[in-house]
């Protein structure tokens, strides 16, 4: 989960020239009050306060908020959370205001974080925050998760409502993290049948996965009629992932993205897990191409991380020769149970008309009002520098001199 894999993805996207086909937007760092729209204020405050040097003073809080083993305290932890969450929030707002039809934040997708605790290297659940933002403008939001791990934090957040349908395809059983996501978990109260879980076994391949994915998602969209879709593209479901156990090729993974794009519904795409860094970068670069309807040459162009793609320097990664433990009978049974759930729901549930809540006021940085003696953080400094490697071009430049974004 090191941010290094995001640098590799970014440089791969640039080396293929994909930045010329989309707007590159620098998001704001999410404010604590924005994070507290889902997370408890005391948890947000603790993340703000804790540092590697002071963590020994907070043994009980570390336990309470589940920081430690899978969720270590590291330098600039809170700023890391602010940046990736700010990306997903701004992506949702741009979709809401129709300034784009697809928004991508490969740094986002940290789907395990809960209201009051961290989990699985997820501290702030940017997906929940993004969905809450989309719900201001859309009666129904569909969340789809193709990470190898169950999207438990997002499912839990919306388990009792019909305004969000969560659909998670994941490995289940053998004590695999996080241990949730049984097909019998379907939501409760107003949310009954609006949580859909597709529990899979080791070794699922492209044909089995994509066939099941397309059948289920087509029926979900037809039945639920979402106003917006959030797609979490965790790359740990690829073959050869250090923690995963599926056997998907990059083409198979990307086929799911291509299928969702075809619905032409406002789409927010995020990253997620992925622990073989070079394959994560390959996958998300290919999927950026898919969203731009651009096929990428297999030979990787020269870039700052080219040596990581040795010895072949190619995009495609072949599947492994491993057994698919998901029999046709097993997958047929899953499909049947999911279809049964979908038959049980109210067709495209409505929502009462209400005033649209405002976007949070985000103060713009004003150079004239700066106290020259006050230390400015690095992110704010970066915003003031016209860097040659930002690759803004002409009318697509989002950092205009007049202060607009």
What's the CA dihedral at 152, 156, 159, 161 to 10 degrees? -120
164-171 and 267-270 strand pairing: unpaired
147 annotated ligand-binding residue? yes
53 annotated ligand-binding residue? no
d(CA 46, CA 50): 6
| Local structure of residue 184 (DSSP, 8 states) | T
70 annotated ligand-binding residue? yes
What's the token pair of residue 337?
């149970």
Q: Which of 171, 144, 356, 114 is nearest to 270 (CA)?
A: 144
Residue with tokens 């934040």: 105
253 annotated ligand-binding residue? no
- Among the listed residues 10, 112, 138, 150, the single catalytic one is 112
Convert 298-307 to b/e letters by CB count within 10 Å (16 or more is b).
eebeebebee
Residue 31's CB is within 10 A of a number of other CB atoms, namely: 17
d(CA 150, CA 127): 14
Neighbouring-strand partners of residue 104: 269
d(CA 144, CA 131): 12
* Structural contact between residues 131 and 230, judged by C-beta atoms closer than 8 angstroms: yes
Residue with tokens 């270590």: 72
Count helices and strands (H / E) in the chain.
Answer: 12, 6
Q: Is 10 a catalytic residue?
A: no
Cβ burial, residue 354 (10 Å; 0-12/13-18/19+)? exposed
185 annotated ligand-binding residue? no
Helix extents (H) in 262-364 = 277-291, 328-344
Say how many Å lie between the first and final Cα of the chain, rounded.
30
120 annotated ligand-binding residue? yes
- Three-state secondary structure call for residue 144: strand
* Structural contact between residues 261 and 290, judged by C-beta atoms closer than 8 angstroms: yes
Cβ burial, residue 125 (10 Å; 0-12/13-18/19+)? buried
Binding residues: 70, 120, 147, 149, 236, 275
Binding residues for substrate: 70, 120, 275
Annotated catalytic residues are 112
């Amino acid at each position: 989960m090191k941010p290094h894999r995001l640098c590799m993805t970014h440089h791969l996207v640039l080396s293929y020239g994909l930045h010329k086909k989309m707007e590159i937007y620098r998001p704001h760092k999410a404010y604590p009050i924005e994070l507290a729209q889902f997370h408890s204020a005391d948890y947000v405050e603790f993340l703000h306060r804790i540092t590697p040097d002071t963590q020994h003073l907070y043994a009980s809080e570390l336990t309470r908020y589940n920081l430690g083993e899978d969720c270590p305290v590291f330098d600039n932890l809170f700023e890391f959370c602010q940046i990736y969450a700010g990306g997903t929030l701004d992506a949702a707002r741009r979709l809401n205001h129709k300034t784009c039809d697809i928004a991508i934040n490969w740094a986002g997708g940290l789907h395990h974080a809960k209201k009051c605790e961290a989990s699985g290297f997820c501290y702030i659940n940017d997906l929940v925050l993004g969905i809450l933002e989309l719900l201001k403008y859309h009666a129904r939001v569909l969340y789809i998760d193709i990470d190898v791990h169950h999207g438990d934090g997002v499912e839990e957040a919306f388990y009792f409502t019909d305004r969000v349908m969560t659909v998670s395809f994941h490995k289940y059983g053998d004590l695999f993290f996080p241990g949730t996501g049984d097909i019998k978990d379907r939501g409760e109260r107003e949310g009954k049948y609006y949580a859909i879980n597709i529990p899979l076994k080791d070794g699922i391949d492209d044909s089995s996965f994509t066939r099941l994915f397309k059948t289920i998602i087509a029926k979900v969209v037809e039945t639920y009629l979402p106003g917006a879709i959030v797609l979490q593209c965790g790359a740990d479901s690829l073959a050869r992932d250090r923690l995963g156990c599926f056997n998907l090729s990059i083409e198979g993974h990307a086929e799911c993205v291509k299928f969702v794009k075809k619905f032409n519904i406002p789409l927010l795409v995020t990253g997620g897990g992925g622990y073989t860094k070079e394959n994560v970068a390959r996958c998300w670069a290919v999927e950026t191409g898919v969203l731009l309807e651009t096929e990428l040459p297999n030979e990787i162009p020269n870039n700052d991380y080219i040596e990581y793609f040795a010895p072949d320097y190619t995009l495609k990664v072949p599947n492994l020769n491993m057994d698919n433990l998901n029999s046709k009978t097993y997958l047929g049974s899953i499909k049947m149970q999911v279809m049964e759930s979908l038959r049980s729901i109210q067709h495209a549930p409505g929502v009462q008309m209400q005033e649209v809540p405002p976007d949070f006021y985000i103060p713009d940085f004003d150079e004239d009002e700066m106290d020259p003696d006050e230390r400015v953080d690095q992110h704010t400094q970066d915003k003031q520098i016209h860097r040659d490697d930002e690759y803004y071009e002409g009318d697509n430049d989002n950092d205009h001199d007049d202060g607009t974004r």
